[in-house]
Amino acid sequence: MNALVVHEVGLRDGLQMEKQVVPTEQKIRWIEALCASGVDVVQVGSFVHPEKVPQMADTDRLFAHFAAPGRKPAGVSLSGLVLNEKGLERGLACGVEMFCMGVSASETHSRKNTGMPIADANARIVAMAKRALAEGKRIQVSVQSAFGCGYEGRVPKDRVVEIVKTFVDAGLPALSLADTAGHATPDDVEELYGRVRALDPGVEWTCHFHDTYGLALANCYAARRAGVTVFEASVAGLGGCPFTKVAGGNTCTEDLVHALQRTGVRTDIRLGALLEVAGEVASFLGHELPGRIHRTGPIAEPAAAH
């Protein structure tokens, strides 16, 4: 695995906000293209009730398709989001490699998202993560609304640290802070990651930012300075949580990769392939998407001197 990991979440966190349901065959083509681009992890979908989120109704079918030999590059992992035990059982049955799950640091968001208070959701998610690890699966457990809530405003940092401590005490190896409402600032990011990383320096840390107020890329750079190594992003900037008050797109994958490559980082990722997918997604959905580089084009690097 590369020192800096890109986890593409557009086909889950992005499409869940779209009214138009994308056919399974189209999703398969996009997943194939994203896998071939050189990103490290592609999130295929979430195991939610199909009537509540019809865009995710084919998640089991997609995982079963890619579980067949030779249908994805060996160096790419496929992840899926689960909210409860039933979702975990479905994921185990169809071949999910990496399970993502989380607990909100906002009581209001937790009840809207899961129907449970924080304490109940926390105990449930920790047990699910341990079950997935026992089954030989990779996991990532996040604290959602870690930097603020559209309903409650500021979320106390001490509350976030307390939740993370329960994850660390349970021996969970891969954790994330998610800026569900897009309230984070770079200073908040460095401070909070500094505090949680001090609990266990061996944990692999992920960041998940929304660009609701225009700070997603700046927050990614702050997270990188704070020691975060895994970055979740969404092709074309698709996305937003349907259970937050003001939904905004995710960190845009091709914008993030373009910025990193200008500093010589992750030059192995095929930016052109990501831009092609972003253009196709925007064309298919029929409206402008928030990502920038798929519209402006990348900055051309000067030819090497001979």
Catalytic residues: 241
Do 118 and 154 contact (CB within 8 A), yes or no? no
- The span from the CA of 131 to the CA of 137, in Å, is 9
- The span from the CA of 8 to the CA of 254, in Å, is 10
Task: For residue 10, count CB atoms less than 10 angstroms from its CB and return exposed for 0-12, middle for 13-18, buried for 19 or more.
Answer: buried
- What does the DSSP 8-state code read for residue 3? S
Give the residue among 195, 260, 189, 263 at the shortest CA–CA distance from 4: 260
Helical spans, DSSP H, in the chain: 24-36, 59-67, 85-94, 107-114, 118-134, 157-169, 186-197, 216-225, 253-261, 271-285, 293-296
Q: What are the backbone dihedrals phi and psi of residue 103, each rounded to the nearest 5 degrees, phi first?
A: -130, 130
- The span from the CA of 187 to the CA of 244, in Å, is 23
